[in-house]
A = this chain, B = another copy of it.
Amino acid sequence: MSVSAYTGVIPPVVTPFNEDFSIDRESLATQVRRMIDAGVDGLFALGSSAEVAFLTRENRRAVIETIVKAADGKVPVLVGVIDTTTLRVAEHVADAVELGASGLVATAPFYVRTHPNEILNHFRLIHEMAPELPLYLYQIPVSVHVTVSDDLILQLAEEGVIAGLKDSSGLDGATRALIEKRNARNLTNFKVLTGSETTVDLNYFFGADGVVPGLGNVDPAGYVRLAAACTAGDWDAARAEQQRLNKLFQIVFVGDGARMGGSSAGLGGFKAALQHLGVFTSGRMAPPHVALNDEELATIHSIVDQADLN
């Protein structure tokens, strides 16, 4: 039988860097405590928002270590074991298990082109490496350039290989269709977390079990309130909270697309906000990211100031 998956508000923790791109453990621990104080249900270490694809193995270990220690058993810590293929993922699984992960999050293979049978192999092998930890399939086509089909997801769920889905497809209608199939096949033990921070109300409305909001780094309390309103079925309150958060979310679009990519603008926005809030000492991003300029930073600060965080 499959182990149980964690649900609720589980933000993907953003990674602060020192000047030499080692992990700024102090800022990271501060941020972890701040999010736990705000009432989040769990933390997701080493997701895409953590710049996982920019981190060496040593960096990744430092991140897990710091987050697990700062979380201090108060909330579960899911760990991303994200790499191109199975043998490389295996190293990250070993690290995560050794360092106290509460669950694992893995994508389909990338760089290589894969057949559904190979994706099945991949997840089955990962599950065998750590059968005691709930494994989430991380659906993120924008990064891995493949969409794992509903049929394959539900097959892995039925086999007890995966306990949950972290869905960053951005296709809420497709997520709803998956949830309806899940329910029809009586697999409600299989949990669905959305990664779409601007449609959390919708996702709860049609049956999702939680959210992994990058913006939850900036306003964790907002997402906790939002999830509470959803759980209570108070959709008007949920929508109002969501709309407030969606205004704050504009910080990820400030970076000029003529000068930088979406990752620089998005993570840059999160990090600039966290520095502005006094949580991080720097908004530094790993290379080859492009930094935000002063004008962009000022715009982001202004959006944060207007967001009525508390």
A-side interface residues toward B, CB under 8 Å?
Answer: 21, 48, 53-57, 59, 82, 84-88, 90-91, 109-115, 117-122, 125, 142-145, 170-174, 176-177, 180, 196, 198-199, 201-202, 205-206, 233, 235-236, 239, 243, 246, 257, 259-264, 286-290
Q: Given A112-B263, A290-B117, A199–B172 Cβ distance below 8 Å? A: yes
Residues of the B chain whose Cβ atoms lie less than 8 Å from the Cβ of A257: 115
Partner among B91, B233, B290 whose Cβ is within 8 Å of the Cβ of A56: B91
What does DSSP make chain A's interface, helix, strand, loop or mixed? helix
Q: A113-B263, A196-B173 are in contact. Are A288 and B54 (CB under 8 A)?
A: no
Q: B84 contacts A53, CB within 8 Å?
A: yes
14 new A-B pairs (CB below 8 Å) besides A53-B109, A121-B290?
Answer: A54-B87, A56-B87, A59-B87, A86-B287, A86-B288, A113-B143, A115-B259, A118-B288, A118-B290, A170-B171, A176-B202, A180-B243, A205-B205, A206-B239
What's the Cα separation between A171 and B180 when bound, in Å?
Answer: 18
Task: A287 to B84: give the CA distance in the assembly, Å.
Answer: 11
Complex CA–CA separation, A176 to B199 (angstroms): 8
Tell me if A288 and B144 are in contact (CB < 8 A): no
With the chains together, A110 CA to B229 CA distance in Å? 38
User: Given that A199-B176, A235-B205, A239-B206 are known contacts, is A121 also in contact with B288, CB under 8 Å in the complex?
Assistant: yes
| B199/A173 in contact, CB under 8 A | yes
A290 touches B115 (CB 8 A): yes
| Given A115-B264, A143-B112, A288-B119, A56 and B171 contact (CB-CB distance below 8 Å) | no
A142 CA to B144 CA in the complex, in Å? Answer: 12
- Chain B residues with Cβ below 8 Å from A239 are 205-206
Contact of A111 (CB < 8 Å), options: B21, B121, B144, B288: B144
Contact A85 B286 (CB under 8 A): yes
The complex places the Cα of A174 from the Cα of B118 at a distance, in Å, of 26
Contact A287–B122 (Cβ < 8 Å): yes
| Chain B residues with CB under 8 A of A111 | 53, 82, 110-111, 143-144
